[in-house]
Amino acid sequence: MSIFLASVGFGLVTASVLAVAAVGFTLQFGVTDVLNLAYGAVMIAGAFLAYLLNSHGVNIWIGLVAAVAACAAGSVLLNAGVYAPFQRRGTAPITMVIVSLGMTLIIEFGVQAIAGGTSVSYTMSQGPSVTADGFTLTAVQFAVIGLSLLVMAGTHALLRYTRLGKAMRATAANRTLARNCGIRTGRVTTATWAITGGLCGLAGVVFAMDAGSFDATSTDLFLVLILAATFLGGPGQAYGAMLGALVIGLATEVSAAYITPSYKYVIAFVALLVMLGVRPTGLFGKTA
């Protein structure tokens, strides 16, 4: 029982990191129509930016804010300089996926060239821990869970109660109709890249905090979990990504407690394949 409870604790932390990443990924895909597989590379770039600041004596939480801002700006530039020009030419979706994979390599090798190819870790205190019946979490892990809850609440408020959020939902549903109704879809797309890029940067730093040590390719496998959570909940569905993250996070960590830990990515991929086969639109997606 203690092993199970401990794995549930780790699962909640993993689900929290995954929720931040998956919400940003699914909103980005839903509004912009770009399956940005360079998302994980941008995450790790944000994590390394926070590390570079932290290694020069900057508090990691300030580094987190810097990573959020930098990834927001970087994502806007990534779209404006790479993805948008291809979209204007009517590039096929599969070609856009290949472009995003190319950007993954460029970003990751760029990070390696600047920061080196070795694993690094933040200089920070984990704070006091809370233990109950084998369930142990540190103060930093509680902070990660708290940040995830804030992101989910903020996402709900954005989509439900703001003009931008409603415009994002309209653009995701039907870009042409939204444009004909007077919505400036170009500005909405740019704002979406900024918001989701910020979430990507946040996810990168909290991922690195949870991992302990990381290198330029650490998020390559984590992208599998992001895709699994996204498609489990339904592509473009923010609430679905939240649920998908909880399911995938708990399932992978609980299973890792009883089998080889590296197999947790296999479990996530199997869940992704099953969902694509049974219900391609996901739990929250609409069927035709």
| pLDDT tens string 21-52 | 999 999 999 999 999 999 999 999 999 999 99
Residue 236's CATH number: 1.10.3470
Instruction: Please tell me the total count of domains within the chain.
Output: 1
Residue 194: inside a domain: yes
3-state helix, strand, coil in the chain (%, to 5): 75, 5, 20
- Find the domain containing 125 and state its range: 2-278
In a domain, 140, yes or no: yes
> Measured in whole angstroms, how far is the alpha carbon of residue 114 from the centre of its chain?
23
Per-residue pLDDT in tens (0 to 9) along the chain, 288 residues: 577 777 888 889 999 999 999 999 999 999 999 999 999 999 999 999 999 999 999 999 999 999 999 999 999 999 999 999 999 999 999 999 999 999 999 999 999 998 888 899 999 887 777 776 667 788 888 999 999 999 999 999 999 999 999 999 999 999 999 999 999 999 999 999 999 999 999 999 999 999 889 999 999 989 989 998 998 888 888 999 999 999 889 888 888 777 777 777 788 788 778 877 887 777 776 655
Chain centre to alpha carbon of residue 168: 18
Asked, for residue 288, whether it belongs to a domain, the answer is no
pTM: 0.91
Residue 69 maps to a domain: yes
Question: For the chain, where are the E strands, in sequence order?
Answer: 129-132, 135-138
pLDDT score recorded for residue 285: 64
Asked if the structure places residue 10 within a domain, the reply is yes
Per residue in 112-140, pLDDT (tens digit) is 998 888 899 999 887 777 776 667 788 88
Rounded distance between C-alpha atoms, residue 69 and residue 237, angstroms: 24
The reply to whether 285 falls in a domain is no
287 belongs to a structural domain = no
Residue 38 lies in a domain: yes
